[in-house]
Amino acid sequence: MPEEEEKLDTQEIKETQETQDEMKTFSVLDDTNCPIQHKHTGTDTPKIKYRNIMDKDHASTHESGGTDKISIAGLTKVTTEASSATPTINSDNTDLHSITALATAITSMTTNLSGTPVNGQKLLIRILDNATGRAITWGAKFEDRGMALPTTTTASKLLTVGFIYDTVDSIWGCVAVADET
């Protein structure tokens, strides 16, 4: 394997800051092993520049319009709340939402669901109750997509549920369920 290809398998994050304009530059490899450079200054709309070097004959540089979203492999955005009948999840701000001491039944996971997810975006939801099993009602934005949506927690056991977003149906499809043993 050529040395160049070996470098593509290494996920590397470098951050530099230019103090005069507080610009941050992040150089990473995304999950398709394409290097990405993200520059952001203060309150401007972030723009993403990336170079596609996978096709050596047609390498190209691209810039987003500032509204594109990227997911950087290895970095997980986590949000947490203790307990809620209608958990607050913003898919723009989290990849993993953790409920740490659920003390009531969840009447709707959809009510306070917000954000603009992209096709194929992943979301993990972890729920731990307060030593009493609790009911879970998912609502219209979640459905079975290979795994059945769990309807209850098991007392004092961590429940982890994995979803992938489908923009065609505007739905979070359940693809994984793990109940702590």
Three-state secondary-structure class, residue 38: strand
Counting Cβ atoms within 10 Å, is residue 84 exposed (0-12), middle (13-18) or buried (19+)?
middle
Q: How far is CA 106 from the centre of its chain?
A: 22
pLDDT single digits (tens) 32-67: 444 444 444 455 544 444 444 444 444 444 444 444
pLDDT single digits (tens) 121-147: 999 999 999 999 999 999 999 999 999
Distance CA 55, CA 65 (A): 23
pTM of the full predicted structure? 0.62
Count of CB atoms within 10 A of residue 142's CB?
Answer: 22
